[in-house]
Structure 1
Amino acid sequence: MSHPRIGFVCQYRHPVQSLSPSELKAIEGPFNPRTTTLRWMDGVAPEVARDKLLEIVTHNLDAQRRLLAYVADLPAPLRMLRLSSDLLPFYSHPSVRAVYQDAAIQTWLAERFEAIGAMARSADIRLSFHPGQYCALGSDKPQVVENSLAEFEYHADMIRMMGYGVRFQDFKCNVHIAGRLGEEGIRAVWPRLSEVARQCITFENEEKVYGVDACLKLADLAPVVLDIHHCWINENDYIAPDDPRVERIIDSWRGVRPTLHYSQSQEHLQALGFSTEQKLEMDALLKVVSKRDLYGHSNRMWNHWTNDYALKFLDRFDIMFEAKDKNLAVLDFYNEFLAPAV
C-alpha cells in the first residue's frame, strides 16, 4: 500500500443522478446495504423477524461484494473503501444478539466475510470502518461504555472474519474521542478491547471538543486520523502541511501509510457569495452562517482552493473523501487532479 490512494464511504452512486428515484434505486440498491427497525422486529413473530434479518444480511453481504468488484475495476489510486457499519443490523443489541450467536449462522457469516476479505486483498483495496458517534468509549456513563464496547467489538468481529486484525493497522476502524472522560476514559477501557480491536482502532479529531491535540495524547495507543475539515472548524484555521503536529500524526502510524479524512462544507455557501476559487476564511463565514452550518458535508468537492490544499497532503497520506455523492465526488477529483494525461 505504498502508492497514494483516495477513497469513498459506504455506498455507490450511479453517474446519471438525473434518473428518477425509482430508476436510481433499482441501479444503486444492489450495491448498498439495507436495514430494518427494532420496532418492526419486536412486532412480529420471532421466526419472521429472524428470517427477515437474515434476508437483509444476505443482501448486505452480496452488496458489499458487488461494491468491492466495482472498486476493483477502478484505477489503483482509487482502490480505497470504507465499508458500511450496517452489514449486520443490531448485531450488538441484546434482543437480537442470539440470532448471530447461533453456531450455524456464525459459520455462514465467517465464510461470507472471509470471501469479502479475500476479494479485497486480491484487488489490493484498502478497507476501513467508522463506527458512529454513539460509539463513545470515553463516556462517563457505565452503560454507554458497555454499549460502545459491544459496538466496537461488533466491528472487530467483522474485521476478524475478513482475515484482518492480525497485524498493526492492516485494517482501520476509526472513532472519535467521544464522552466526558476523554483520554482518561479511553485509557480506562483500553485493556478491555480485544487484540483485533487494539490492532485496528484509530482516533480522529472532531469539530468541537476533541481536536488534533487531544488525539495526539493517545498516539502511544493508536494512530491519529487527521480530519482537515474538522481541524479547520475546531481551530478556525487550516492546519499547515508542515505543522509539526502533522509529523507526529504520521509517526503515530508506526510506518503504515496514514489516512486523512477530507470533506467540505455544503455548496449553499456559493449562494452566500463564496466562490469556488476562494479560500474559505472562518471570520468571513461566521458573519453570515453559524459554525454548526459548516459541519454538514457537501455533495462534491466544489471549492477549488480547498482541493489544492488537500492535495498537499497526498504525498504522505491516503485520503478518504466524506461527500454525499460518494464515489462520484472521488471520481471528479481523480479525473481533475490525478488521472494520467491522455
Structure 2
Amino acid sequence: MSIGYACLNIGTPNTNIRSVMPRNANPEKLTEVTAHNLDALEKMVDYNIANDIRLYRISSDLIPFGSSPVNTLNWPQIHKEAFERIGAKIKKSGMRVALHPGQYTVLNSSTEDVVERAITDLLYHDKILTALGTDTTNKIVLHVGGIYGDKEAALERFAKNFQSLPESVQKRLIIENDDRLYNIEDVLKLANRLQIPAVYDNLHHAINPPPSGGNDQYWIAEAKNTWKETDGNQKIHYSQQATGKRPGAHTDTILLETFLQFYDQLDDPTIDIMLEVKDKNLSAIKCQNAITATPRPVLLEKEWGRYKYAILERSPAIYQAIRTLLKDKEVYPVQEFYRLIDTAFDEEIHPGCAENAAAHVWGYFKKNATDTERIQYEKNLTNYRNDTGTLATLKRQLFKLSEKYKVDYLVQSLYFYLD
C-alpha cells in the first residue's frame, strides 16, 4: 500500500510551480520557467523518496501552456536530460505518479471544439508521463464530464471519443466518480465497457451516491475488478468533508481517527490511496506513520523536529505535552501525537507565544550573526511587539538567516510554512 498527495509540497524550499503570462510567453521565458518547474518537481520527488512516499500526483501546470498553441517548443527534447533524470529516480524508487486534468478537459462535451481541446490536453499529459519514461501503471485521471440533458448520449459520446484517442492515452486513462453528475455506478458501467480502470472517490460517493446505495467497502471491491495487472495496484481517492463549507470542500488536514476507521475496513492491503487535502504531504506522512508496519519512535521525533516551533507559537502547553509524550521510547503514541498537533493548529498564534518561538529560532545563530543582523532582528521583533510590523517580516529574516548559516533543521521547519 502507498499513500500519496497531490501536486504541491509544504515545507520544501523552491518547490513552487511557476506560470507565464500570455504576453510574456516567448521561447526564452517558456524554457526558463519549464526548467524551474522541472527542478521543483525533482525536489519534490527527492522529498518523496526521502520520506518513503511512493504515490504522487504531478501538477498539470508543470509545462506552461503545455497544451496550448502558445507553446510550440519541443519541450520534451529541450528538457530531455531533466525528464530522464527525474524519471530514473521515480522508477528506481518504485514511485507511482499520475496527472489529473482540470474541469475544462471534457471528453464528452457536445461541442466539438471542446472535445478537440480535451484530446489535445490529454495528449499533453501523456507526453509528460512518456518523457519521464513511466509505464502504464502511471495514470491520467479524468472525470466523465457533463450530461447536457441526456446522460446516456453523453456516456455514448465519451465512449466514442475515447476510441479516437491514441493507444498510449487509452492505456493511461482512468475515470473517477464525481460529486454531482456521475456516481460510482455510472462510472463502473463506462469503465467496464471501455475496459479501463475506475478510481473510487469516497467523498464524491458520500455526496453523490447511486440509488442502489452501497458503502465504501462494497464499491471499492467493485472498482477493483476494473484494474488489470498492467494498470498496477488499484488506486482510490480519499478526502474528508470540511465542516461548515460547501459539499465536497476538503479539510485542511486529514483527521487521523476518521482515516483509520476508513482504513480498517479495507480488504486489500495493496491498495494505493491518494489523499486530497490542503496540507498535502503533511497528511500523507501523518497517515503513513499511523499505519506503518514498523512503528518506530524516531518517526515521530522526526516529525516533531519539523512541527515544534509552529506548535510553540500557538500553544506552549501543547508543546510541552508533546515533549512529555515523546520521552518514553518504548511506546509509539502516533494518534495522540497528531491529535495534539491538530488541536494546536485550531488555536490562533498569540503574540507572546510568537515572540517566544522566534527567540528559540534566533538562538540557533545568534552567536554567529553580525551586528547588523542582530540589530535588524531586534527591530523586527520590537515592531511586531508594538504592532508596527508583522510576524511575517520577522520570520522572513529568520528564514534567510537559517539559509545563510546552513541550519537545515530550521530551513525544513514548518514554522516558516504554516500560518
Q: What one-letter code is carried by the residue in structure 1 that aligns with 2:115? A: V
Q: Deviations over 1:25-63 (max 9, x none)?
A: xx53x123111222x33xxxx7xx321221110000011
Of structures 1 and 2, the larger Rg is shown by 2
Q: For the residues of structure 2 that align with 1:311 and 1:52, how far apart are their CA atoms?
A: 49
| Contact preservation (8 Å) 1:231, 1:239 | no
Q: What one-letter code is carried by the residue in structure 2 that aligns with 1:141? A: T
Q: Which has the higher helix share?
A: 2
| 1:308 counterpart SS class | helix
Aligned pairs for 1:238-317 (under 5 A) are: 239-243=214-218, 245-255=219-229, 256-266=232-242, 268-269=243-244, 293-302=246-255, 304-313=257-266, 315-317=269-271
Q: For the residues of structure 2 that align with 1:310 and 1:198, how far apart are their CA atoms?
A: 30
| Contact preservation (8 Å) 1:262, 1:320 | yes
| Contact preservation (8 Å) 1:227, 1:262 | yes
Match of 1:88 in 2: 63
| Contact preservation (8 Å) 2:8, 2:59 | yes
Residues 84 and 250 from structure 1, CA distance in 2 versus in 1: closer, same or farther, beyond 3 angstroms? same
1:254 Cα deviation (Å)?
1.5
Q: What one-letter code is carried by the residue in structure 2 that aligns with 1:122? A: K
Aligned residues: 285
Q: For the residues of structure 2 that align with 1:144 and 1:7, how far apart are their CA atoms?
A: 31
Is 1:175 the counterpart of 2:142? The answer is yes
1:303 Cα deviation (Å)?
6.5
| 2:191 counterpart SS class | coil
| Contact preservation (8 Å) 1:262, 1:310 | no
Q: For the residues of structure 2 that align with 1:89 and 1:115, how far apart are their CA atoms?
A: 20
| Contact preservation (8 Å) 1:205, 1:211 | yes
1:210 Cα deviation (Å)?
0.6
**Among candidates 277, 282, 299, match of residue 323 of structure 1:** 277
Q: Mean Cα displacement is larger for which, 325-334 or 174-183?
A: 174-183
Is 1:56 the counterpart of 2:33? The answer is yes
Please list every run of 5 or more consecutive structure 2 residues that lacks an aligned counterpart in the other structure.
148-152, 297-419
Q: For the residues of structure 2 that align with 1:247 and 1:236, how far apart are their CA atoms?
A: 16
Q: For the residues of structure 1 that align with 2:38 and 2:258, how far apart are their CA atoms?
A: 39
Match of 1:232 in 2: 206
| Contact preservation (8 Å) 1:137, 1:179 | no
| Contact preservation (8 Å) 1:260, 1:318 | yes
**Among candidates 18, 28, 31, match of residue 34 of structure 1:** 18
Q: Highest relative contact order (Cα 8 Å, sep 6+), 1 or 2? A: 1
Please list every run of 5 or more consecutive structure 1 residues that lacks an aligned counterpart in the other structure.
15-26, 270-288
| Contact preservation (8 Å) 1:232, 1:239 | no
Aligned pairs for 1:79-118 (under 5 A) are: 79-94=54-69, 96-98=70-72, 100-101=73-74, 105-118=75-88
Q: For the residues of structure 1 that align with 2:263 and 2:103, how far apart are their CA atoms?
A: 24
Identity %: 29
Match of 2:189 in 1: 217
Q: Deviations over 1:282-302 (max 9, x none)?
A: xxxxxxx7xxx1211111112
| Contact preservation (8 Å) 1:9, 1:321 | yes
Is 1:142 the counterpart of 2:117? The answer is no
Q: Deviations over 1:199-230 (max 9, x none)?
A: 11000000011110111112232100000111
Q: For the residues of structure 2 that align with 1:211 and 1:51, how far apart are their CA atoms?
A: 45
Q: What one-letter code is carried by the residue in structure 1 that aligns with 2:71? A: R
1:239 Cα deviation (Å)?
4.6
Task: Give the TM-score normalised by the residue count of structure 1.
Answer: 0.77
| 1:35 counterpart SS class | coil
